[in-house]
Structure 1
Amino acid sequence: MIDYFSDFVTWFEYFILVFMLIYLSFYLVLAIYSYLAINKNLRVKYDLTNNKMLKSNQVLGVSVIAPAFNESANIVYNVKSLLSLLYPKFEVVIVNDGSKDDTLEILITHFELKKVDFYYEEKVKTNTVRGHYKSTNPIYDKLLVVDKINAGSKADASNAGVNSCKYPIFLCTDVDCILKKDTIIKLVYPFMSEKNRVIATGAGIRISNSCIVKEGLLKEVRFPREMFPRFQELEYVRSFLFGRMAWSRMNGLLLVSGGLGMFEKKAFFEVGGYWHDSLGEDLDLVIRLRKLMHEQKEKFSIRYFAESLCWTEVPASAKILIRQRSRWSRGLIQSLKIHRKVFFNPKYGITGMLVFPYFVFFEFFVPILELLGLIIIIISLIFLDINLYFLLYSTLAIFLFFQSITLISILIDEFLFKNYNNLKEILILISISMVEPIVYHPINTFAYLKGYWLFISKKELKWGEMTRKGFNTNHQI
């Protein structure tokens, strides 16, 4: 029995060695493409000034859609924040998704809303829409409020918002997200400038925990004070600046974050909108959009911006983080399962031959391989005479490789965008990256494995809610 296990361990070691060499090589390729994408992104940033867009008569109209559920405490400030975005031709569509508090009543009172006769065409089926409201005050003429019965998902509320909006491009966000003033300008630019059909754009998202927010506006960006938000700050910097910029350069983006994503409405309706039963509606939508373009044999683009344009609150405790990440992993496995015919299918171009397989092998399988590897190492230490030096050197090499990727991401982010107030915050982030593999990564891996198990066992398949602490409004901290 020991001999069979020894042979299996030897085979597994070779498999992991080859897998890691491919994985690391792919990361090097991503690093190169990320550099090229950021470089191009910066040229566009300097060539495109806000004044050009604000004074142009040729801009595309954009609808900003934000579902709201039980947001009475901050809804007025949040809506004012969205209405204050800089762009000459936009509307704000707030979807009151069956709130059980007085969110709708507060909106009606503060913004002087009146129920109006509204031609509502249900191009994507949603739960019952009870009515549409417009303001009698010209100051708020850009605001449209949609009142509907809750269906238990953000996807349903977003679909109702898209059904109700009037412009050909829409930006989907969360009502409690804080957007930079020029967010629309940046995200809509590719739709107007590229030769290919642009179907979606996105940008970096940052952590709002500990930031100073007043009346829905971001007054001061502050480094997170709590441990788990700090780990996620590091994670977001690396994934948005490094990973997604590289995929954008290759036109291989498979995910545009639900908190900040701009889409072409025509393509959105062609694929049937957000899927109500999806556990990861943002990933599922982009996969369906890409499949549609490949099937129609149409040249298309999905673009990403390196600059952070959105701030959002993230889980501040291990319990809520695990709950969130297990949801994400269920969304991942569900989307990969539903769209499995894309896997290594040349009909779907780069999506089928590169991007989808990457998500299968390096996003889905890695947590499973990490668990299997840990089990084999423990058993081998007990029953076999393994080479500890080789194990330690291999682990150190992998750690140093990913540490270098993380450090490069931090330095590029600081050099280009200067999101931190002083050197101390940068050093804290670097020190956090040192302990991330032994503190944060195992928790993240556990959450993903838990999500896989819940999906397979068909337990707790609803999204549920993420408890939020709310924004910091105290300027004296």
Structure 2
Amino acid sequence: MDSELFAVVLEYINFVFFVFTIILFILFSLMAYFSTRNSLHYRNKNSFTDISKIMASPLAPTITIIAPAYNEGLTIVENIRSLLSLQYVNYDVMVVNDGSKDDTLQKLIDSYDLEKVAIQMDPDWKSKPVRGIYKSKNRAFEKLTVIDKVNGGKSDALNAGIALSTSKYVGCIDVDCLLQPDALLHVVKSFFQRSQKRVIAVGGVIRVANSCIIQGGQLEEIRLPKNWLARFQLLEYTRSFILGRMAWGRIDSLLIISGAFGFFEREIALAVGGYDTDTVGEDMEIVFKMRRYMHDRKESYTIEYIPDPLCWTEVPEDLEILDLLPYYVPVKSRESGLF
């Protein structure tokens, strides 16, 4: 009797797993179809576009790149130098030192000849206290602004940057990410390529830079990661960004913009209150709020997704490294889908 019951239960479990596998296969097949359609549409639409004209246009909109930094003293100077060399005219870089315990702030002050300036901030805006705002005395670095504030986490740092920015668009990135030189040109083109819908946010593909050759803040050669953990993450990044988000973008249902490379219309980001500091899904939560805001106002809108590899980041090659990266787990693990 017991063996017969066990056989029935085992057969039932096998049937459930078989149905689950079929459903999963169908869903992934549909996602692959929509992703392919969206990729072909993007390629055909941009095959004759010269994005360099955007850089020369006096009508190019202003963009602020907000880069939170926490204990980034080892690489902060080189990372910011890379951000200051992007191919765009009307942009500035805002580094938010989120209460670093190392010499991050001092290295920025020494390397970029910074001095404290008086800039007013909305006292009602939600973020931890700002201890100082710095601008460079060197005109070569006039695009750089450094905010020093009490530690409050990445979301809080981004909120401070959004509040202090005066640009039409804000880009929220990880300070250790490497952007392609023409990344902002692609972003601006995506904001303005729709005529009937208002583009409220733009996201893009994040690629794994482990084992790639990088010199002078520029990607020189793309290589497959040598570490197996990094390879698994590369596979998951590809599935998530190319297959998943391209498919959701095709049916205008994209619900998340990567925290490592996301651009938003500042007016709407302010209207919805910025990022939520009480959740680990802040990059998804702000997209939900912006969609709800536009839906309640009955305005036609969309969120664009760029399949070009415009942003590169290094992923951990050892699970123990995650204990040393307080900014890493909430965002990048969610992007890769590993945790």
| TM-score higher than 0.5 | yes
Counterpart mapping for 1:377-456 below 5 A: 448=339
Distance in 2 (alpha carbons) for counterparts of 1:251 and 1:265:
21
Alignment partner, residue 108 of structure 2: 107
Rg larger for: 1
Corresponding residue SS for 2:146: strand
User: Which of 1 and 2 has higher RCO (CA within 8 Å, sep 6+)?
Assistant: 2
Q: Is the 8 A contact 1:78 1:215 kept in 2?
A: no
Deviation at 1:130, TM superposition (A): 1.0
Q: Is the 8 A contact 1:124 1:269 kept in 2?
A: no
Q: Does residue 250 of structure 2 align to residue 239 of structure 1?
A: no
Distance in 1 (alpha carbons) for counterparts of 2:181 and 2:11:
56
Q: Structure 1's 182 and 123: CA in aligned 2 closer, same or farther, altered over 3 A?
A: farther
Alignment partner, residue 136 of structure 1: 137
Counterpart mapping for 1:262-411 below 5 A: 262-320=263-321
Partner amino acid, structure 2, of 1:281: E
Corresponding residue SS for 1:158: helix
Q: Structure 1's 174 and 196: CA in aligned 2 closer, same or farther, altered over 3 A?
A: same
Could you tell me the percent identity over the aligned residues?
40
Q: Is the 8 A contact 1:188 1:262 kept in 2?
A: no
Alignment partner, residue 353 of structure 1: none
Distance in 1 (alpha carbons) for counterparts of 2:116 and 2:323:
42
Deviation at 1:96, TM superposition (A): 1.0
Deviation at 1:157, TM superposition (A): 0.8
Worse-superposed segment, 278-287 or 210-219: 210-219
Worse-superposed segment, 8-17 or 29-38: 8-17
Q: Structure 1's 215 and 74: CA in aligned 2 closer, same or farther, altered over 3 A?
A: farther
Distance in 2 (alpha carbons) for counterparts of 1:213 and 1:123:
42
Q: Does residue 227 of structure 2 align to residue 226 of structure 1?
A: yes
Q: Structure 1's 145 and 328: CA in aligned 2 closer, same or farther, altered over 3 A?
A: closer
Deviation at 1:238, TM superposition (A): 2.5
Distance in 2 (alpha carbons) for counterparts of 1:170 and 1:199:
11
Partner amino acid, structure 1, of 2:93: V
Partner amino acid, structure 2, of 1:56: S
Distance in 2 (alpha carbons) for counterparts of 1:308 and 1:315:
20
Larger strand proportion of the pair? 2
Counterpart mapping for 1:84-123 below 5 A: 84-122=85-123
Partner amino acid, structure 1, of 2:161: G
Alignment partner, residue 192 of structure 1: 192
Distance in 2 (alpha carbons) for counterparts of 1:49 and 1:248:
23
CA deviation map 1:265-320 (0-9, x unaligned): 12212221111121122122222222333333332211111111111110102455
CA deviation map 1:189-243 (0-9, x unaligned): 2222212121211111111212223343333332211111112122222221122
Q: Is the 8 A contact 1:59 1:192 kept in 2?
A: no
Q: Structure 1's 228 and 271: CA in aligned 2 closer, same or farther, altered over 3 A?
A: same
Q: Is the 8 A contact 1:123 1:269 kept in 2?
A: no
Corresponding residue SS for 2:299: coil
Distance in 2 (alpha carbons) for counterparts of 1:23 and 1:321:
31
Larger helix proportion of the pair? 1
Deviation at 1:9, TM superposition (A): 4.1
Q: Does residue 217 of structure 2 align to residue 216 of structure 1?
A: yes
Distance in 1 (alpha carbons) for counterparts of 2:202 and 2:6:
49
CA deviation map 1:22-54 (0-9, x unaligned): 222222221221111111211233232232111
Q: Structure 1's 133 and 322: CA in aligned 2 closer, same or farther, altered over 3 A?
A: closer
Deviation at 1:144, TM superposition (A): 0.9
Q: Structure 1's 225 and 61: CA in aligned 2 closer, same or farther, altered over 3 A?
A: same
Distance in 2 (alpha carbons) for counterparts of 1:225 and 1:84:
29
Q: Superposition RMSD on alpha carbons, in Å? A: 2.5
Distance in 1 (alpha carbons) for counterparts of 2:262 and 2:18:
37
Deviation at 1:108, TM superposition (A): 1.4
Alignment partner, residue 174 of structure 2: 174
Corresponding residue SS for 1:253: coil
Calculate the TM-score normalised by the size of structure 1. 0.65
Please, which runs of 5 or more residues in structure 2 have no aligned partner? none
Alignment partner, residue 146 of structure 2: 145
Alignment partner, residue 50 of structure 2: 49
Alignment partner, residue 33 of structure 1: 34
Partner amino acid, structure 2, of 1:290: R
Distance in 2 (alpha carbons) for counterparts of 1:276 and 1:44:
38
Q: Is the 8 A contact 2:114 2:135 kept in 1?
A: yes
Distance in 1 (alpha carbons) for counterparts of 2:111 and 2:10:
67
Q: Is the 8 A contact 2:64 2:169 kept in 1?
A: yes
Residues matched between the structures, number: 333
Q: Structure 1's 51 and 327: CA in aligned 2 closer, same or farther, altered over 3 A?
A: closer
Q: Structure 1's 139 and 231: CA in aligned 2 closer, same or farther, altered over 3 A?
A: same
Corresponding residue SS for 1:47: coil
Distance in 1 (alpha carbons) for counterparts of 2:117 and 2:271:
28
Q: Structure 1's 170 and 44: CA in aligned 2 closer, same or farther, altered over 3 A?
A: farther
Partner amino acid, structure 1, of 2:167: Y
Distance in 2 (alpha carbons) for counterparts of 1:107 and 1:62:
21
Distance in 1 (alpha carbons) for counterparts of 2:235 and 2:324:
19
Corresponding residue SS for 1:309: strand
Deviation at 1:122, TM superposition (A): 4.9
Q: Does residue 161 of structure 2 align to residue 161 of structure 1?
A: yes
Q: Is the 8 A contact 2:230 2:317 kept in 1?
A: yes
Q: Is the 8 A contact 2:52 2:185 kept in 1?
A: no
Partner amino acid, structure 1, of 2:185: I
Alignment partner, residue 78 of structure 2: 77
Calculate the TM-score normalised by the size of structure 2. 0.90
Deviation at 1:115, TM superposition (A): 0.8
Q: Is the 8 A contact 2:73 2:107 kept in 1?
A: yes
Partner amino acid, structure 1, of 2:51: N
